[in-house]
Amino acid sequence: RAKADGRGTYRFFETGMDARAQARRLLEMDLRAALQRNEFQPYYQPIRDVVSDRVVAFEALLRWNHPQRGLIAPINFIPLAEETGLIVQLGELVLRRACADAATWPDDVGVAVNLSPVQFKNPNLIASVTEALEKSGLAARRLELEITESVLLQNSEATLTTLHELRAMGVRISLDDFGTGYSSLSYLRSFPFDKIKIDRSFVSELATREDSVAIIRAVTGLGRSLGIVTTAEGVENDAQLELLRREGCTQAQGYLFSKPRPASEVAMMLDRPRLRASA
């Protein structure tokens, strides 16, 4: 309590807390209503093979199309959706939509869906993945699920069982934001990941930091020796792409090719090799 700081501070503090709690309650109500009103939709960002330059998959990135506030990015609502458990419904919605959308794309193009640690606490996760695949008719091998280290930090026995079950279904599992956690390397031993996504921070510093080049080289080498695909996130220019190609990185994703766009623009992203963020 801030009481010792004097009455003025204490009252200010209380008022501040109240305003924050109030804002949170409003956002939570808004989130619930938005789910009813169908205001959420996945946007898609292409992931390209570095050697063939072909689009191999799209990552589904959730957007909230708010009637007053416009397009809202995940950082502004996913944390509260996780706290309130609404992420379970939101996650199911993304899975269903992503599988249904991907089923209309060419056979050799996959879709990647991000999973929250909270979804792993829900006993229905396997059932909702199964249902999304069955209803859409999408082959399991075309679905990639992206998890971060934080998923493996919690209740790891149950989580590992779930991951193995998903993989046994034919779904691929990617380790997202690689290199940003505490002990990234040890997680590579705990589960046979299909893909490592090298965090954007290493790519963005390639031009300015020698050690970022060394880290990229180490991770792509690790991927090669473990037989795991490596995808670089946040590729924004040709110099970065060239370096990644030279270091043997398998796939690249970033504004250099396209920012995330609605499902209706996937066909165009497949046709046109490059679509910059401004395009």
Binding residues for Mg ion (CB under 5 A): 114, 146, 176-177, 233
Considering the rule CB under 6 A, would residue 262 count as an interface residue with ligand C2E? no
- On the CB side of 142, CA atoms within 13 Å amount to 25
Least distance in angstroms from the C-beta of 98 to Mg ion: 12
Instruction: Kindly tell me which residue out of 114, 136, 174, 220 binds ligand C2E, with binding defined by CB under 6 A.
Output: 114
**How far apart are alpha carbons 231 and 150 in whole angstroms?**
19
Considering the rule CB under 6 A, would residue 46 count as an interface residue with ligand C2E? no
- 45 near 259, Cβ under 8 Å? yes
Least distance in angstroms from the C-beta of 154 to ligand C2E: 14
Report the 10 Å Cβ neighbour count for 49.
Answer: 15
Considering the rule CB under 6 A, would residue 78 count as an interface residue with ligand C2E? yes
Instruction: Kindly tell me which residue out of 103, 121, 201, 255 binds ligand C2E, with binding defined by CB under 6 A.
Output: 255
CB-wise, 19 or 73, nearer to ligand C2E? 73
**How far apart are alpha carbons 210 and 219 in whole angstroms?**
15
Q: Which of 59, 85, 34 is nearest to 197 (CA)?
A: 59
Least distance in angstroms from the C-beta of 184 to ligand C2E: 14
Least distance in angstroms from the C-beta of 274 to ligand C2E: 13
**How far apart are alpha carbons 268 and 151 in whole angstroms?**
34
Looking only at the bridges linking them, the beta strands covering 172-178 and 195-198 are: parallel
Least distance in angstroms from the C-beta of 195 to Mg ion: 11
Amino acid at 165: E
**How far apart are alpha carbons 62 and 267 in whole angstroms?**
19
Using CB under 6 A, list all residues that contact ligand C2E.
Answer: 45, 60-62, 73-75, 78, 91, 94, 114-116, 146, 176-177, 200, 233-236, 254-255, 260
